[in-house]
Amino acid sequence: MFKPARWHRLVGQSTETAVPGDADSLILDHVSDGVLIADMRLRGHPIVQVNPAFETITGYSAAEVIDKNCRYLQGNDRLQPEIAEIRAALAEGRSCAATLRNYRRDGTMFRNALRLEPLRDHEGNLTHFVGLIRDVTHAAGIDRLTGLLDRYALLDRLAQLELSPGCALLVIKLDILRFHDVNNGFGYDVGDALLRAVAARLATLPAAAISRADSNNFALAFELDDASRAAGIVEGVLDLLRPRFILPGTSLAVQFAAGFTIGLACAEPLQLVRQAGAALQRSKATPGHSPHPFAASDERDARNRIRLANELQTAVSNEELLFHYQPQVDLGSGVLVGAEALLRWNHGAFGLQPPARFIGVAEETGAMMEIGAWGLRTIAAYAARINQRRDTPVRFAFNVSVIEFLRRDMAAFVEQQLEETGCQAQWLTLELTENLMIPEPDDMRRSFEQLRRLGVNISVDDFGTGYSNLRYLERFPLSEIKIDRSFVRDVAHSAAKRVIVESVVKLGAALDIQVVAEGIETEAERTIVQALGCSVGQGYLFAPPVVESQFEQLLHDGFRLCGGWSSSGDKNR
């Protein structure tokens, strides 16, 4: 292949121009690496020759690049740490190698494994630099979508870093929150464009390493001369990501969770990345998702999550899942009209687990599909059993995960369960959290319509907390809205919240949608939401979620609200 010594001789022959002779052009024409030659004697170090492979890789023709400085290949992406190394090598007239993000004529990024070799004349004066350009975008270690390092290359890079004395390494991990919603709601091409746009912003940071660790997860490393600057740097990264991302057909404001950790020069890179990941999990699990510095307890939590994820796979077959039932009460008469089924996991070692502990893990690992199928079957069978002996049937509400709705034909699945269990469609309400209802909901709306045609009720859970949009109420065939408990709590103190609740109730009445208030804890809250027009309520004031036998006892005794009701049903909560 390429031999600097040969180039030396050939280019050296020509004193006026740097264009090599014919024999060399022939070689240039046939090497697969892009080659460019810059004249270091002229101002601006212009390119004086490129080969066909250069034109293929970059998309620029020779005529377009001759006389330009090769800097233009960097586009606006100037803050790459490798560039400093290249500048120094050029100034000192020595050879160097670095992998850069460069940009083709059409604006797409490629990873350029660049090698620079100086050429000297007979007196030893620097005359030219030869640049060898190799497109390693699809090479091992590079994430194809974003051009950032992949997670293995990140570890390699961190292991190779030579920190200046007294410096520490800051490792940050970032997650795009609700990335699934972007993919599912807007399509994978928009999801991909978002990842690329995030990568492009991150690439402008003076980081020692930037990587896309996996799907919507990024990792960055910074050299720190002063550990107290860590939180400020993390804030700076998040500030950079705050402006809306302009994507094909839409623009999105995106929220990120962040975890970070600081290590000394001798720290094991894998451990730092793990620590930042564990801190990230904490940030994801905290309301508001503020950035989280690593603490030793995070690693324990992370280990527990992994353990839970493994054990969840067999929770259904081991019959460790069960439902508690929380009564729903007619606010006018105090009569029990329904119940929400709330999932619990009776874990062998950790005891009874609330859904917040494991639903997220189940969704991430795919276990949710099996759990959801089991749950629906169980509730349909239970509703059939309870209602066959009753004059006025009880309606059972069942929470459906977003994932299930997207991955299975819910209408067909529900219909099958109804047939097999003898449950009637109107005994069943499917609750979906509002943030499921993102744009492009055509498939979703079709499913909803099929379910409503079957006679199944559909409820929007936690209304007011998601991507709130009153138009959903009109566009989706809903039968119920559950006003989130944060509104119910505030309604006693905040006039503004009262107006919101009242408007939702009025809208519901106009559209023939029942409005349920959840989380009613006090008599005052009950009185107000009732006065505002909510017909049905649910909350500790009436009953906490209770085990099956207690629920049946309630039904048997003819549950009716009389002052308050306290039960030991959910002591662990």
Residues with a known catalytic role: 518
Using CB under 6 A, which of 359, 478, 528, 554 touches ligand C2E? 359
The answer to whether residue 480 forms part of the interface with ligand C2E (CB under 6 A) is no
State residue 335 phi and psi, 5-degree precision: -85, 140
39 in contact with ligand C2E (CB under 6 A) = no
Q: Nearer Cβ to Mg ion, position 311 or 518?
A: 518
Residue 462 in contact with Mg ion, rule: CB under 5 A: yes
| 7 three-state secondary structure | helix
Q: Beta strands 351-353 and 336-347: pairing type?
A: antiparallel
190 makes contact with ligand C2E (CB under 6 A): no
- CA–CA dist 506, 502 (Å, integer): 6
Residues 6+ apart with CB under 8 A from 93: 40, 118, 120, 126
Neighbours of 548 (CB within 10 A): 14
**CB nearer ligand C2E, residue 338 or residue 375:** 375
Cβ proximity to ligand C2E: between 150 and 363 the closer is 363
Stretch that binds ligand C2E, among 20-28, 152-160, 258-266, 394-402 (CB under 6 A): 394-402
Residues 6+ away with beta carbon under 8 Å from 355? 342, 343, 344, 399
Minimum gap (Å) between residue 336 Cβ and ligand C2E: 14
Among residues 51, 56, 246, which one has the least CA distance to residue 131?
51
Q: Pick out residues in 511-530 that bind Mg ion (CB under 5 A).
A: 518
Q: Which stretch binds Mg ion (CB under 5 A): 24-32, 227-235, 462-470, 524-532?
A: 462-470
What 3-state DSSP class applies to 84?
A: helix
Q: Is 462 in the site for ligand C2E (CB under 6 A)?
A: yes
Work out the widest C-alpha separation in the chain, in whole angstroms. 106
Tell me the CA distances in angstroms from 199 to 150, 245, 359, one per residue in order: 12, 12, 29
* Gyration radius from the chain CA atoms: 31
Question: Mapped to the 3 state alphabet, what secondary structure does 25-75 carry?
Answer: HHHHHHCCCEEEEEECCCCCCCEEEECHHHHHHHCCCHHHHCCCCHHHHHC
Mark residues 533-552: x for contact with ligand C2E by CB under 6 A, - for none.
Answer: ------xx----x-------
At its nearest, how many Å lie between ligand C2E and the CB of residue 512?
A: 23
Going by C-alpha positions, the residue among 483, 482, 478, 468 that lies closest to residue 447 is 478
For the bound state, the minimum distance from the C-beta of residue 402 to Mg ion, rounded and expressed in Å, comes to 13
3 three-class SS: coil
Q: Single out the residue of 4, 59, 75, 355 in contact with ligand C2E (rule: CB under 6 A).
A: 355
Residue 342 Cβ vs ligand C2E, minimum distance, rounded to whole Å: 4
Query: Which of residues 282 and 526 has its CB atom nearest to ligand C2E in the complex?
Result: 526
Q: Which does 33 bind (CB under 5 to 8 A by kind): Mg ion, ligand C2E, none?
A: none
By CB under 6 A, name the one of 46, 81, 141, 354 that touches ligand C2E. 354
Does 461 contact ligand C2E by CB under 6 A?
A: yes
By CB under 5 A, tell whether 461 contacts Mg ion. Answer: yes
Does residue 281 belong to the site contacting Mg ion (CB under 5 A)?
no
The residue from 490, 521, 548, 552 that contacts ligand C2E (CB under 6 A) is: 521
Shortest Å, Cβ 525 to Mg ion: 15
From residue 98, alpha-carbon distances to 89, 113, 136, 161 in Å are 11, 6, 12, 14
Q: What is the DSSP letter of 164?
A: P
Binding site for ligand C2E (CB under 6 A): 326, 342-343, 354-356, 359, 375, 399-401, 431, 461-462, 485, 518-521, 539-540, 545
Q: For binding to Mg ion (CB under 5 A), which residues are involved? A: 399, 431, 461-462, 518
